[in-house]
Amino acid sequence: MNLKNTLKLEQLAMMLTALFLGIYLLEFKWWWYLIFILAPDISMLGYAIGTRVGAFFYNLFHHKGTAFLIFLLGYYLNEQYLINNQYLMFAGIIILAHSSMDRIFGYGLKYDDDFKHTHLGMIGNKT
């Protein structure tokens, strides 16, 4: 097995773990994921303004660090202030699952020069 396939399997494991945690930890119904799994792609609207703005918002909503911060913020508020923030935790899980799914298909974080230029290479290249 080559390294590219190994990395795709790693991303698949992350995506499935995120979905598992969301279903069993937060007790959301499975079909909520079907509805919201593509929600982070709304960030591509930034490309209507320009590639620099588009890349910024795309990367913000597709970064796994953002996913963890949103999840942990919801968890912290839930534990410390007894504010039910399962929706924040759910949003973090959706971003993690979505970004892992994107990486499986070769869509990485964007450089600000071109939508197709990602940290995984150019989209559409067979290298």
Listed residue (79, 97, 122, 115) closest to 22, CA to CA = 97
What distance in Å separates the CA atoms of residue 73 and residue 16, rounded to the nearest whole number?
Answer: 22
What are the pLDDT digits (tens) for 3-60? 888 999 999 999 999 988 888 888 788 899 999 999 999 999 999 999 999 999 999 9
The Cα 74–Cα 57 span in angstroms is 21
Q: In which element (H, E) is residue 21 found?
A: helix 3-24
Its sign, for the CA torsion 27, 30, 31, 37, is positive
Q: Taking the domains of the chain in order of start, what are their residue ranges? A: 3-122
